Amino acid sequence: MNSKSTDAAGAYARAFIRVRRIYEDAAAGRPIESRWLKRAVLSLAEAAVADEARLLRLTALRGYGDELPRHYTNVCVLSLSLGKRVGLSGRRLLRLGMAALLHDIGRSGMPDDLFIGNSEPDDDALEDLNTHPVKGFDLLLKLGGLDKDTVPAILVTYEHHMNLDGTGYPPRDKARQPDIFSRIVRIADNYDSSTSTGVYGRLALRPDKALELMRKRAVSYYDPDILSVFALMMGAYPVGSLLLLSDQTVGVVCEAGGEGDGYARPVVRLVAKVPSHAGEPEGAEDGEEGLPIGGGPPVDLAEKDAAGGYAREIAGSLDPSLCRLNVNAALLQPHTFTRQGALR
Amino acid sequence: MADEIENNSLPTRSPERAAELAPRATEAARALVEAVRLVNAENATDQDKKKAREALKERLEAFLGEEPVLCLAVGEAGLSFTDAGGAPAAGEDASRMFGHGIREIRFGCGVTAGELEGLVETLGLGGRRTDVHDDLVTLVADRDFAHISISSVDEYEDGEQAQTEEIISQGDESDTLWEMDRFRERLARGLTGTLPGELAPPVPAGAAFGLPDDATQLFELAVIFLEIMDNEKDHGRYGRVVDSLGKALDLLFTMGAITHATELVRRLKGISFRTEHLERLAKVKALLGWASAPGTIERLGRYMSKGDNEAEQAGAYLKLFDKRVLPAMITLLETLTNRGARLIVEESIVVQCDKKGAALLPYLEHETSHVVASVVSALGVIDDPASIPALGGLLAHKDYKLRKEALRALANNEYGKATDYIASAMKDEDPGIRVQAAKLIVERAPSMAYGMLVDIVSDKKFGERKFDEKKSFYQLIGKSGGQRSVGFLSEKFKKGGLLYSSNREEDRACAAYGLAAAGGAEAKNLLKSELDSSSKALKGACTEGLRQMTGKK
């Protein structure tokens, strides 16, 4: 479907608001009114075609509170982008998006602090937590009913914690593989949870580290083919990564992914200059720390200088939560750069 | 959808060109609005609706013959050409499209009649159907049209806009300060970050992903229901899951996914065998009862009528059940007009009867001839000796086709009693059946056949029969009697022989064919002796007979 006028941020926000309401309704035992949720997914799907880079940046925002609706929305966006690359039609993307938004519906009615908190859940709490796929499955059957629209959501809700090697929960016949929608949502869900602080009481992993861990587990946990597509979509340093560059600048990854050079050389916004020695930052005295809040203009790390070398090398990736730079501000800068072919 | 639509790279037109195209675009817009209006018009006939769709296709083709894409803007006032003004095509349906958020409808080259029918039907849904819960935007998106697309807006609901800014804002103001201290501490400790991981860039997935359709996903879900049934401890939940499984099965039927439904019922039967809890067993049996109920089999019949593949799939489903479904199967036979589908039902009946024909015998009295023929055919394959008398009785039926079918069924039967009935069919009023019966007797009991055939041929009235039948009988005498038959045949063959009929030269020709079938030197010499016969028929028979004998070597 065409989407030239779709606003990615508006679509993201509407999905967020509506999914939050749906989860509240489900917790209260009210029927699931999916009409407006479907429209939100359609808008997200349109935005995933028209302005995917911006949509993916929105998934990397962190630290606002209301983490669970944000997580559901992020999983939906990541799943839609992944589903698009896997070759799903518009109709199937709509179903996938709905399933992704509702995948954790079994959590509704459970206290949020079971999922989000400062400490890891104990064994009892973990046991409770692990029932959410089954609870969600029962809830959707009860509140949503069974028809061809709801089937993918019920499937995904039940299967999104199942691993490819037969482990995970709830237990299943190992000869049966989870549905492809479940395998897509499994990847999107795991990535977003791993990179968010407080989910299951864990600290957020750096985006590149989270992806690397997932790739190492590819054979046993995830569908390796779909994970490959996801890894290419996200790049070695996914959106939201904080990179220390060879010229002692620090950049927030704003656009990433693709094959060739683009895979490991994302587009960044420079947000800080690092002093070469401990002490006051360079230029701090006269208030010229060098870069505006939200970062400077986008810099494509795949660009080469006149001599044919890369202008900047990546010295390493940093943990955004430890550096306390305003990554969000950089991610929310107006979209001014799209690397041709990087995300298409 | 055309690439141009997908990439938003529509060709730009000069105002002159747009003005030139405007009348055709407006005509197409009006045709669309009219076609949608007729979907819900109470006084519109199917013919009117069809004409309106054809008019729409015609108008679109008039535009798309010269341009790759037609874009119609959907406004409050109606549908209009995006590139030029002009009076919009207005109407209640156009207003509804706008109200549901549609802002543009695009048609690409190659749009099909089926797509247009789907679009018109979908856009008309909002005006009539009270059971449709989705809006038009979602319904159109759900159709996955290849050459039609829409643009839409998703309006904010109450209070959503105010919350949006909060969700997308950059967060707490204090975070905007660059707090470098900790960062510098890290640097001072040498924790400058991590270099790229050791993993190589991923390789793009080469093979196409197996993308499931709606029915496959529904089947996958139903398999989960079965898994839960096998492990669930809570009786209440077990019951709810069985109910859901029933809905899934019903949906699979609606979708025409009979292969999936078959596999599901097969597994469900497996569960019924290992379920000990009586209440649970009752639930499972009730579902199996639904799966084999007359109504379900009737639905299957409608599916079978669609084609050979569908009939094959339905056959696999029907074979899951036993003879208790026979009444429904007979009803199915009554309704099916396709011979191929009826054959599949017959095969299914054979499996359902499990080598016992008794349950089928009452249906030999059925008033519909083709139903009886199918039952007879099934009885033949079932090969139950108990059904031989009933089949034998049918050899006296007034319907030639049924007698023929009964003969074929008896022929399948290996029991001796069937041979007697087959032999009786050599006296049937129909020559085809008589010859067929004679052939069968020769195959089943050659020694007995010879004498019977000689008796028949020796009858005075046999000579009045048609040449082809007589030829067949003589050949069968030669075949069954071998050298023993040469004497008899030569008397029929030789002019002035004991059995010679002077007024029937063609009988000699038939005897010639019999001699050829019997073989041997004497038969050969007899045939050679008449190679110069003045009778064309006799000469031809001898020539042909000798050729056959030579070939037999």
Mean pLDDT of B437-453: 92
Cα distances (angstroms) measured from residue B90 to each of A180, B79, B86, B96: 44, 6, 12, 11
Prior bond to A170 cis, omega within 30?
yes
Q: What is the pLDDT of residue B174?
A: 39
How many contacts does A have with B, using Cβ atoms within 8 A? Answer: 239
Q: What is the pLDDT of residue A343?
A: 34
Q: What is the pLDDT of residue A121?
A: 77
Q: Which of A215, A189, A45 is nearest to B200 (CA)?
A: A215
Q: Are A223 and A164 in contact (CB under 8 A)?
A: yes
**Could you tell me where the DSSP H helices lie in A51-179?**
52-59, 67-86, 90-102, 123-129, 132-139, 151-159
pLDDT tier at B11 (50, 70, 90 boundaries)? low
Amino acid making up residue B391: L
Q: Which residue of B has its CA nearest to A248?
A: B192
CA angle B545, B547, B552 (to 5 degrees): 95
Q: What is the pLDDT of residue A280?
A: 40
Tell me if chain B has a CB within 8 Å of the CB of A322.
Answer: yes
Residue B202 and residue A63: Cβ atoms within 8 Å?
A: no
pLDDT tier at A51 (50, 70, 90 boundaries)? confident
Q: What is the pLDDT of residue A3?
A: 34
Cα distances (angstroms) measured from residue A50 to each of A266, B31, B67, B147: 20, 31, 24, 19
Q: Which residues of B489-507 are buried (b: 16+ CB within 10 A; e: fewer)?
A: bbebbbeeeeebeeeeebb
Q: Are A10 and B165 in contact (CB under 8 A)?
A: no
d(CA B527, CA B251): 72
Question: What's the whole-number average pLDDT of chain A?
Answer: 84
* Structure tokens belonging to residue A176: 């049966």
By 3-state DSSP, what share of chain A in percent is helix, strand and coil, each rounded to 5? 50, 10, 45
Residue A232 and residue B201: Cβ atoms within 8 Å?
A: yes
Q: Please give the share of chain B, as a percent, with pLDDT higher than 90.
A: 64
d(CA A289, CA A272): 8
d(CA A218, CA A227): 7
Q: Are A43 and A93 in contact (CB under 8 A)?
A: no
Order of strands across the sheet that contains A314-318: A298-300, A267-273, A249-255, A242-245, A314-318
pLDDT at B152 over 90: no
The single residue listed with the structure tokens 């042909």 is: B544
Lowest mean pLDDT among A191-195, A286-290, B355-359, B449-453: A286-290
**Which residue of A70, A259, A293 is in closest CB contact with B176?**
A293
The dihedrals phi and psi of B538, each to the nearest 5 degrees, come to: -70, -45
Beta bridge partners of B475: none
**Helices first, then strands: H and E counts in chain B:** 27, 4
Amino acid making up residue A45: A
Domains defined along chain A, listed by start? 8-234 (1.10.3210.10), 242-331 (no CATH)
Q: What is the pLDDT of residue A337?
A: 58
Question: What's the whole-number average pLDDT of chain B?
Answer: 87
pLDDT at B176 over 60: no
pLDDT tier at B510 (50, 70, 90 boundaries)? very high
Residue A12 and residue B168: Cβ atoms within 8 Å?
A: yes
pLDDT digits (tens, 9 = 90+) for B76-131: 989 989 887 678 888 888 998 998 889 999 999 999 999 999 999 999 886 665 56
Q: What is the pLDDT of residue A287?
A: 35
* Structure tokens belonging to residue B132: 């449709």
Residue B141 and residue A1: Cβ atoms within 8 Å?
A: yes
d(CA B246, CA B288): 9
The single residue listed with the structure tokens 């008449």 is: B530
Mean pLDDT of B381-404: 94
Q: Which residue has the higher pLDDT, A101 or A63?
A: A101
pLDDT digits (tens, 9 = 90+) for A240-258: 999 988 887 889 999 988 8
Q: Are B164 and A14 in contact (CB under 8 A)?
A: yes
* Structure tokens belonging to residue A329: 């501000």
Mean pLDDT of B539-544: 93
pLDDT at B373 over 50: yes
Q: Which of B334, B300, B302, B343 is nearest to B320 (CA)?
A: B300
pLDDT tier at B42 (50, 70, 90 boundaries)? confident
CB proximity list for A205: less than 8 A, separation 6 or greater: A194, A195, A213
Best of B178, B230, B237 to disrupt the A interface (most A CBs within 10 Å) is B178
- CB contact residues (below 8 A), chain A span 97-136, against chain B: none
pLDDT at B507 over 90: no
pLDDT at B194 over 80: no
Question: Which secondary structure element, helix H or strand E, spans residue A269, and what is its range?
Answer: strand A267-273
Mean pLDDT of B141-165: 83
A318: chain B residues, CB-CB within 8 Å: 183, 192-193
CB proximity list for A221: less than 8 A, separation 6 or greater: A163, A164, A165, A168, A186, A190, A214
- Give the ipTM: 0.90
Q: Which residue has the higher pLDDT, B258 or A120?
A: B258
* Structure tokens belonging to residue A319: 């943990």
pLDDT at A24 over 80: yes
Cα distances (angstroms) measured from residue A117 to each of A112, A128, A140: 8, 15, 27
**Which residue of A17, A179, A324 is in closest CB contact with B163?**
A17
Side-chain-side CA neighbours of B60 within 13 Å: the count stands at 28
pLDDT digits (tens, 9 = 90+) for B248-291: 999 999 999 999 999 999 999 999 998 889 999 999 999 999 99
pLDDT at A340 over 60: no
Q: What is the pLDDT of residue B534?
A: 86
**Which residue of A94, A158, A232 is in closest CB contact with B141?**
A94
A212 CA to chain B: closest CA distance, Å?
7
Residue A173 and residue B214: Cβ atoms within 8 Å?
A: no
Side-chain-side CA neighbours of A280 within 13 Å: the count stands at 8
Beta bridge partners of B152: B102
The two beta strands, A267-273 and A249-255, are antiparallel
pLDDT at A325 over 80: no
Q: Which of B531, B543, B541, B367 is nearest to B470 (CA)?
A: B541
Amino acid making up residue B418: A
The three-state secondary structure class of B402 is helix
Mean pLDDT of B415-430: 91
Tell me if chain B has a CB within 8 Å of the CB of A213.
Answer: no
The three-state secondary structure class of A85 is helix
d(CA B25, CA B364): 65
pLDDT at B177 over 80: no
pLDDT at A109 over 70: yes
**Which residue of A17, A34, A225 is in closest CB contact with B205?**
A225
Displacement of CA A192 from its chain's centroid (Å): 4
CB proximity list for A124: less than 8 A, separation 6 or greater: none
Amino acid making up residue B278: L
Tell me if chain B has a CB within 8 Å of the CB of A206.
Answer: yes
pLDDT tier at A62 (50, 70, 90 boundaries)? confident
d(CA B75, CA B104): 9
pLDDT digits (tens, 9 = 90+) for B517-533: 999 999 999 999 999 98
pLDDT tier at A129 (50, 70, 90 boundaries)? confident
Q: Which residue has the higher pLDDT, B49 or A289?
A: B49
Best of A85, A219, A324 to disrupt the B interface (most B CBs within 10 Å) is A324
pLDDT tier at B147 (50, 70, 90 boundaries)? very high
Q: How many CB atoms lie within 10 A of CB B448?
A: 15
d(CA A214, CA A212): 5
Q: What is the pLDDT of residue A282?
A: 42
pLDDT digits (tens, 9 = 90+) for B331-354: 999 999 889 999 999 999 999 999
Residue A272 and residue B135: Cβ atoms within 8 Å?
A: no
pLDDT tier at B7 (50, 70, 90 boundaries)? very low
Q: Are B148 and B106 in contact (CB under 8 A)?
A: yes
Q: What is the pLDDT of residue A122?
A: 81
Mean pLDDT of B310-326: 96
The DSSP result for B160-226, as a single string, is: HHHHHHHHHS---GGGGS---HHHHHHHHTT---BPPPSPPPPPPP-SPP----HHHHHHHHHHHHH
Mean pLDDT of B475-488: 94
Mean pLDDT of B182-188: 53
Q: What is the pLDDT of residue A262?
A: 81
Q: What is the pLDDT of residue A2?
A: 34
Amino acid making up residue B53: R
